[in-house]
Structure formats: C-alpha cells, structure tokens
Chains A and B, each alone.
Chain A
Amino acid sequence: MKRLFPILSVVTAILLAYALYLALVVAPTDAQQGDVYRIIYYHVPSAWTAFVLFFINFIASIQYLVSRKPPAVSAAKWIVIAIGVLGAIAVYLPPVRAQIPAGMKPSAVALTVLLIPAFYLLIGWLFPGDRLDVLAVTTAEVGVVFCTIVLVTGPIWARPVWGIWWATGDIRLTSTLVLWLIYVSYLVLRRFSNSAQTQMLAAALAVFGALDVPLVYLSIWFFRTQHPQPVIGGGGSMDPRMLHVLGFSWLAFLCFAFLVCWSRFRLELLQREVERAHAMESLVGAADSAKASLPLSRSAR
C-alpha cells in the first residue's frame, strides 16, 4: 500500500496536467462565451466530485448510525436492497416516468437508484466498525474543499457572462451555498464538540444534510434558474470534444480526490491513535499517583 500511494500520485499528476492541456488547448472555443467557458472544466468536475463525496458521507453516516444497534444492521441492509430494486422498477411505471424531467433517461435514473444498495454494501464491507466514522469525516472535509471551489469558480465565470457575481434567489446557487454551510457546520461540530455523542450527532446531521444534494442537482431540471440548464442528458447540445474533455477532467479530479481522501483518512487514524495514547498516558499517570499515595496512607494508619 505504501508503494501504491506514490505511483497513484504520479498517475494523478499526469492526468491533471493532461486534463489542463485538453481544457486550455484541445477543447474548442465556445461561440457565445469565448474562452471563459473553459472554467466549466474545473467548475463542473469539482461539483460532481463534491456530490460523490457527500454521497459517500451519507452512506457511511447511515451505516455508522445503524451499527450502534447491532440487530438493525441486517434489517437495514435488506431495506436498502429493497429500496434499490423497487426504486429501479418504479422508474418504469407510467406515473413515475411522467415525473422524470425531459431529457433525463429512465435507464440512467434506474441505474443510479440501483447503485445505492451496491454502494451501501461495498462501503459497509470495506470500512467496518469505527472506520465508517473515519470515512464520513474524511469525505465531508474533502467534499467541502471541492464545494468551496464550485462556489469560487462559479461567480468568477458568472461575472463576465452574466455581468453579476451572484444571482440572488437562484435556486441552484442558493441550494449549493446551503449545502456548503451544512457540511461546514458538520465539520465545526466535529471539531469543537467533545461530547461522547458527537459522532452520532454528526452522523445524523450528515444524513439530513445529504437531502440537499438531490435538490442542488435537480434544481436546474425542475426550476427555471439563472444557472445554465443541463446540457448533459438534459436535451441540450454540447460539442462531443467538449464532452470528452469534461469527462476526462472529472476522471482526473476523481483520482485527485481519492488521493486526498486517502491522506485525510490516514490523518484521522493517526489523530485517533494520538488520542488513545494521551488517554493511556493519563491512565498510567493516575495509576502511578495512586501507587505513590498508597504507602503514605498505610503509614498514616
């Protein structure tokens, strides 16, 4: 594993450099926006990466909450599988199908719904016990970094294109800001609360916070907003070369996020090791002082 990290780092650096080359040189210039549209090659992959990380945080938080009550673990597994299978079937029922926005393929929705139990089982298998909580805090923190980039690059793109930095009242922009604030409060809670219930409270907050992710994603499908309407799978058109660059850029950012999460995960494990060592030292110190006081009390008798 120690050898894998530097190899992956080199591969990711090459992918990011090539993605930058594709974004600045290979991707064609947009007829309306000019070169400034190339910001999407950082803005959109960062947003998608943040969504993936928040989704993992959501799954890990649910599993962590469930794992506190062992009899619920097996039941939760079957409930999630049932939700995935029934949800995927329900997508093809006419009343549900009618609710799917134009341009969004039912097969894509069904596959996404089916991926939920698959992800749930995979994460539970890969991260047993307290490692679920370590994964949750890792993905929340790295997700906030990517979400910050979305909130910074968005206005930088909007200023020359819309003429304003921020469209007040726009649902996509507001819900993204709310999402960022929810996860920042999650991190603040974890950082400054020393209660034994902190991990449980943070997991519960993450479950509710994750409900904002579909709102952010679907806001441009269901509402008319200042934010551009979906061009991928949304009935809009995008030059295939642009799509290729966007996909490659996302792959590069996903690899980068994976590496950062790996480092953050190790950091959290180290942090807990230090906390255990401190606790052990306090116990040893208390035992030593108790021993030292024992002969005195005997002699006093």
Chain B
Amino acid sequence: MNAIKFLFAAYIATWVIHSFYLGTLVRRFARLRRELRELGKGT
C-alpha cells in the first residue's frame, strides 16, 4: 500500500497543531507581560 504521504501528512499535521498552539501561548505571554509593565508604570 503506497500511502506514505498520509503518514507524513499525519505527523506534519500533529506538529503544525502543536506549533500553532505554542505560538498562541507565546503571544499571550508577551501581551500580558507588556500589559503588566504598562500597569506598573501607570501606578
């Protein structure tokens, strides 16, 4: 059965989903840290 492309598609899809989620975590961290810094300056 020549279905190797499906195997690679599944593995790549897994890491694309994980990378996307980790990317959102990094972005949210950066936004919250910036917000906290700005709040610290304001008070």
* Interface set of A (CB-CB < 8 Å, partner B): 20, 33-36, 38-39, 42-43, 46, 145, 148-149, 152-153, 156-157, 159-161, 256, 260, 263-264, 267, 270-271, 273-274, 277-278, 280-281, 284
Contact B32 A36 (CB under 8 A): no
Instruction: Using CB atoms and an 8 Å cutoff, list the residues of chain B in contact with chain A.
Output: 1-4, 6-7, 9-11, 13-14, 17-18, 21-22, 25, 28-29, 32-33, 35-36, 39-40, 42-43
Tell me whether B6 and A263 are in contact (CB under 8 A). no
A42 touches B11 (CB 8 A): yes
Residue pair A39, B7 in contact (C-beta under 8 Å) = yes
Residue of A nearest to B31 (CB): A274
- Assess the A148–B33 pair: CB atoms within 8 A: no
Task: Say yes or no: A267 contacts B28, CB within 8 Å.
Answer: yes
Q: Is the CB–CB distance between B3 and A36 below 8 Å?
A: yes
- Pick the contact of B14 from A34, A42, A260, A280 — CB < 8 Å? A42
Report yes or no: B6 in contact with A281, Cβ–Cβ below 8 A: no
Report the minimal beta-carbon distance from A191 to chain B, rounded to whole angstroms.
12
A256 to B43 Cα, complex, angstroms: 39
Main secondary structure, interface of A, reads helix
Q: How far is the CA of A270 from the CA of B37 in the complex (A)?
A: 12
Contact partner, B4, options A20, A36, A148, A153, Cβ 8 Å? A36
Which chain B residues border A267 with CB–CB below 8 Å? 25, 28-29, 32
Q: Chain B contact residues: over half helix, strand or loop, or mixed?
A: helix
* Least CB distance, B10 to chain A, in whole angstroms: 4
User: Shortest CB–CB separation between residue A231 and chain B, in angstroms?
Assistant: 19
Q: How far is the CA of A35 from the CA of B10 in the complex (A)?
A: 12
B11 neighbours in A (Cβ, 8 Å) = 20, 39, 42
9 more A-B contacts (CB under 8 A) besides A160-B6, A264-B25, A281-B43?
A20-B11, A33-B1, A36-B1, A36-B3, A39-B6, A145-B21, A157-B6, A277-B40, A281-B42
Q: Give min CB distance, A249 to chain B, whole Å.
A: 11
Contact B3 A149 (CB under 8 A): no
Rounded to whole angstroms, the CA-CA distance of A277 and B10 in the bound complex is 43
27 A-B interface contacts by CB (under 8 A) = A34-B1, A35-B4, A36-B1, A36-B3, A36-B4, A39-B6, A149-B13, A149-B14, A152-B13, A152-B14, A153-B14, A156-B6, A156-B9, A159-B6, A260-B22, A260-B25, A263-B22, A263-B25, A267-B25, A270-B33, A271-B28, A271-B32, A273-B36, A274-B36, A274-B39, A278-B39, A281-B42
Known interface pairs A36-B3, A267-B32, A274-B39; A145-B17 also in contact (CB < 8 Å): yes
